[in-house]
Amino acid sequence: MAKVAFIGLGVMGYPMAGHLKTKGGHDVTVYNRTTAKAEKWASEFGGNFAKTPKEAAEGCDFVFACVGNDDDLRSVTTGADGAFHGLKKGAIFIDNTTASAEVARELYAAAGEKGCGFIDAPVSGGQAGAENGALTVMCGGDQDAFDKAKPFIECFAKFAGLMGESGAGQLTKMVNQICIAGLVQGLSEAIHFAKKADLDVAKVISAIKGGAAQSWQMENRWETMNEGKFDYGFAVDWMRKDLGICLKTANETGARLPVTALVDQFYAEVQAMGGKRWDTSSLIARLENADKS
């Protein structure tokens, strides 16, 4: 058993922290901006809660965070009462936020100055993956820190791998989001086309899902997309945040992402339709909305 802190109890962080307590058996202290949620978590899982990230991190061997964006991450680490002010020497900070590679490298350096480790470790698998302890975790940082952190990460993961040096985890998550953007748009167009051609969508999917067109998105989202139900996962607002990071990084590295840029704009149209909190499969709603115009 180790002393662990978890900062950020959103739809992902809440169950992830829970797995560290129930599956890992660790002494877990949580922090959340809304104290009531931290109190609820502590009551549900039998852990502790702190009033600041610094207080949560004090004396801990491992500190996890899963917050919204780069600015949120800086706030809970190096900001006033941030966790880095409470880290003991030798502690390892594992960041599960989807953020930029730039902030990962910045915080890796800041942690190193304190004699601590830092792993950027964004996750994929959505709310269901977090709740089931079946996330994919893409890590960047030093091998030694990763080896120490891996057993703890595995409390909520089906896969945890070191992709390279600091920032490599975030860059790998960008690759993941680029793939998803194109896949969801392709599936949206396919279902939309099938409907327009008066095909039975269920029969079509049954015929093609075992071949080269198969994807996780098809397997898990075609039916809800066909029914116009979009409350099954990662929100459009968050996808646009992630794609913004991808496009900014692509501009810096010279990578060309024409499809990703186009899909990002399609998501902006979904937001304008009122779909900010719809899940990412809602791209099909944009196509069907055009029919009504």
Q: By the 8 A CB rule, do 48 and 25 touch?
A: no
Distance CA 221, CA 226 (A): 8
Catalytic residue among 88, 173, 195, 196: 173
- Sign, CA dihedral 23-29-31-36, equals positive
Q: 């646009």: which residue's tokens?
A: 240
- Whether 89 is catalytic: no
Distance CA 139, CA 87 (A): 20
Q: By the 8 A CB rule, do 95 and 65 touch?
A: yes
Neighbours of 219 (CB within 10 A): 11
Q: Strand 135-140 to strand 157-164: parallel, antiparallel, or no bridges (unpaired)?
A: parallel
Catalytic residues: 173
